[in-house]
Amino acid sequence: MSLNNHPKKRILIQKGFKAFEIEEYSKAMQFFSDALRLDAEDLEAKIGLLLSDMINDFPKETQGFYELYKTMIANNPRSLRKKIQQSILDSIIAFDQGIEKISAVFCEDNEQKIDEINGILYSDFKQMCENSSFKEVFENLIFSTKIIFTKKEDFYDFLETLLENNFVDFCLQYIENMKEASLYDLRIKDILQRAVQKL
């Protein structure tokens, strides 16, 4: 029997995510570890294990990755499942290695509030892109500067431009980072689907 379809492995992974959802993280880690003993390459078990391991240190970010994973799996054909899993796994590992430094924030068009935030307005970011390529400006600012969005349309535009420039992992990371503001609305779901096509 193929390890991919091993019934015991599937049951262990299901139990792992159930334990994760009721906040029994030690149990979840055990279930995912047992699944990986049956198939060390299973991407879903790896995702579950990493999420269960990091939840105590990064609860908000971990839940964000989990919600993003569920949304992408639910809104794309089964044939893309492995690509989605690999992308989410890569994003979690990248987060663990320091991509958590990327940052963005929504702010009402209020000059005083904007001045209090140490960052750059998206409109200013776009102006910089007129003199240099988006890729160059983005790579120079990504880890050092918070991007401030004053309206959702700007955020969508930014995500679209990330996709156009093949920054798929960063596009997913920003969606996770801004999940409270975007709430996986229809535009975000459409962007997620196109991101998956580029994986």
pLDDT tier at 195, thresholds 50, 70, 90: confident
What per-residue confidence (pLDDT) applies to 122?
92
What per-residue confidence (pLDDT) applies to 90?
87
| Least confident interval from 50-64, 125-139, 140-154 | 140-154
Q: Give the tens place of pLDDT for each residue, 111-124.
A: 656 667 778 889 99
Task: Determine the average pLDDT of the residues in 162-170.
Answer: 92
Nearest to 168 by CA among 72, 98, 74: 72
| Domain residue spans of the chain | 3-97, 101-198
What per-residue confidence (pLDDT) applies to 73?
92
| β-strand partners of 119 | 146
Q: What's the CA gap between 88 and 178, in Å, rounded?
A: 16
Tokens 């689907």, residue?
193
Rounded (10°) angle between helices 152-164 and 186-198: 10
Task: Determine the average pLDDT of the residues in 18-43.
Answer: 96
**Cα dist. 199→63, 84, 148, 168, 169 in Å?**
22, 8, 27, 7, 9
Q: What's the CA gap between 58 and 176, in Å, rounded?
A: 13
Q: 104-106 and 119-121: which strand pairing?
A: unpaired
pLDDT > 70: percent of the chain: 84
Q: What's the CA gap between 105 and 25, in Å, rounded?
A: 30
What per-residue confidence (pLDDT) applies to 32?
97
Q: Give the tens place of pLDDT for each residue, 71-80.
A: 999 988 899 9
Q: What are phi and psi of 142, to 5 degrees?
A: -50, -45
Structure tokens at 9: 């492995």
Q: What's the CA gap between 37 and 199, in Å, rounded?
A: 28
pLDDT tier at 101, thresholds 50, 70, 90: low
Task: Determine the average pLDDT of the residues in 192-196.
Answer: 86
1 has pLDDT over 50: no
